[in-house]
Chain A
Amino acid sequence: DAMVIQNPRYQVTQFGKPVTLSCSQTLNHNVMYWYQQKSSQAPKLLFHYYDKDFNNEADTPDNFQSRRPNTSFCFLDIRSPGLGDAAMYLCATSRATGGRTEAFFGQGTRLTVV
């Protein structure tokens, strides 16, 4: 049973055309993360939500935005995708209670910019 679901699995967008990636979870976790992973690299954290609190990484470009309308859903908006934004985008969730930070990842969305 999929617990962290990302849609779509593959997304092709035009240079400069806004795109939205979505993530939903059935785990009722209070923390949701968005990571960017480029080929042969480690996942790089873009931002995360701790409940409703948004936490942006210092080096995340302004081009990347996020929304979390409720506990189950989180969106990644790329306002003006560039060729360098082509990557796998990973959503993850965790329950930050009792010192546990076990994170569950979705299957990812492969973004291609043409």
Chain B
Amino acid sequence: QQQVKQSPQSLIVQKGGISIINCAYENTAFDYFPWYQQFPGKGPALLIAIRPDVSEKKEGRFTISFNKSAKQFSLHIMDSQPGDSATYFCAASSYGGKLIFGQGTELSVKP
């Protein structure tokens, strides 16, 4: 019940295309859903996050879509750039609780 399932494991997108990464969870107590971006040899960096009281949040080219009834959320990267090539992790937590990470998606944006 504590798991967060992420797909796909890897993704190749052409420059300018849309990258979509999906996550699903079971624990209805989760109330905070961040996405982290990690470059090789670096720590994860918070990209964008959402709470379940909204269905969508947009920051620049990054959008989170949240479906509370389906217990799913996704990250959309519009106009994907080679510099977006990294590993992306979704995560979930409940108040004051620990972050539970998805398995990660390795994104490669081809020029």
Residues of A near any B CB (own CB < 8 A)? 4, 6, 31, 33, 40-43, 45, 48, 50, 55, 90, 92, 96, 99-108, 110
Contacts and interface: CB of A to CB of B under 8 A. Distances in A.
A33 B43 CA distance: 13
B102 A101 contact: no
What range describes how many residues of B lie at the interface?
Answer: 20 to 34
Given A41-B104, A99-B31, A99-B32, A33 B98 contact: yes
Interface string B84-111: 0000010001111111011110100000
Interface string B11-53: 0000000000000000000011010100001111110010100
Interface of B: 31-32, 34, 36, 41-46, 49, 51, 89, 93-99, 101-104, 106
Contacts of B96: 31, 50, 96, 99, 101
Given A50-B96, A96-B96, A99-B31, A42 B102 contact: yes
B104 A103 contact: no
Nearest to A4: B43
Contacts of A103: 34, 46, 99
